[in-house]
Structure 1
Amino acid sequence: MSYWLIGGTAGALIGVALAALTNIGSWYYCDRIALAAYGAQPVSQAKAPQLHQMVQNLCYRAWLPMPAIYIVPSRSPNAFAIGRDPEHAAVAVTEGIIDLLPPDELEAVIAHELSHINNRDTLTQAVAATIAGAISFLAQMAFWFAPGGGDDDGLNPLVLLLTFLASRREAPRSTRAW
């Protein structure tokens, strides 16, 4: 939009900067956004002592600070970790997974979620989204400004192929073993 409204290279750069700011804002507030979207409720140690002890033991063994713990009021078995870094992290589990899994299996699920915190996966996703957005924008500009790119008379097959390849978005893969 900024390319068309402002025009030229300056508009394109402003668009990429706005996309980066949006992604950084999403990353910074991701914990609040995700927890609110799921209706997650913070749970105290008094209300769920076994869950707190489990997370505390895992954090101690992984040298991680204790994250906030939330329970999602859902029968669907699920768990997730969220936060911009280990000091600002949260682990959420659904009522369904607590009821379904025995303690040792729930502990394994939570250990997996803590690995996302340790690997700073939300930061990786924010950076990847910003880069993917910039590449997608450049591919679209290449399509529209290449010979035959915007005409119905003849599309440039090479530009179509480059647009397709550059605009593909894949989830980042971690190379670190848990």
Structure 2
Amino acid sequence: MNAIRTAMLMAFMSALCMVIGYLIGGWSGTLLAFFTSTAINFFYYWYSDTIVLHIYGAKESNSESFPEYHQIVTNLANQANIQKPRLYIIQNKQPNAFATGRNPQK
């Protein structure tokens, strides 16, 4: 379901760019907007996880620095029978957790 919503959002944003391109530059503006929005959508789909981590200033943690966090996540991943995710630390006083990536390997 999330893949369908993501595709619909990307298609809507591309269509909006194409309409604006048409209003500014006619059919050539539409084509330019189509190719530009396709390239941007592809870029953000493949690199969104890296972009989000960079925005938050997240640094990947190792098990020596934060052994209790890694142990908790390892136990949860084993109970759920999934691969243990990589852990990143951000400098923030509020507790925060989020997941990012397009598949378990990324």
| TM-score band w.r.t. shorter chain | 0.5 to 0.7
Specify the alignment match of 1:72 in structure 2: 90
Size of the alignment, in residue pairs?
A: 86
For residues 41 and 80 of structure 1, the distance between their equivalents in structure 2, rounded to whole angstroms, comes to 14
Specify the alignment match of 1:28 in structure 2: 46
What is the 5 A alignment of 1:12-51? 12-51=30-69
In the alignment, does 2:71 pair up with 1:53? yes
1:97-138 per-residue CA deviation (whole Å, 9 max, x = no partner) reads: xxxxxxxxxxxxxxxxxxxxxxxxxxxxxxxxxxxxxxxxxx
Identity over aligned pairs, percent: 35
Task: Write out the 4+ residue segments of structure 1 that deviate beyond 4 Å after TM superposition.
Answer: none
Considering only CA atoms, is the larger Rg found in Structure 1 or Structure 2? 1
For residues 33 and 88 of structure 2, the distance between their equivalents in structure 1, rounded to whole angstroms, comes to 36
2:38 counterpart letter in structure 1: A
What is the 5 A alignment of 1:6-17? 7-8=26-27, 11-17=29-35
TM-score norm. by structure 2 comes to: 0.67
- Where do 5+ consecutive residues of structure 2 fail to align? 1-19
The CA RMSD over aligned residues, in Å, is 2.0
For residues 38 and 30 of structure 1, the distance between their equivalents in structure 2, rounded to whole angstroms, comes to 12
- Where do 5+ consecutive residues of structure 1 fail to align? 89-178
* Distance apart, 1:38 and its partner CA: 0.9
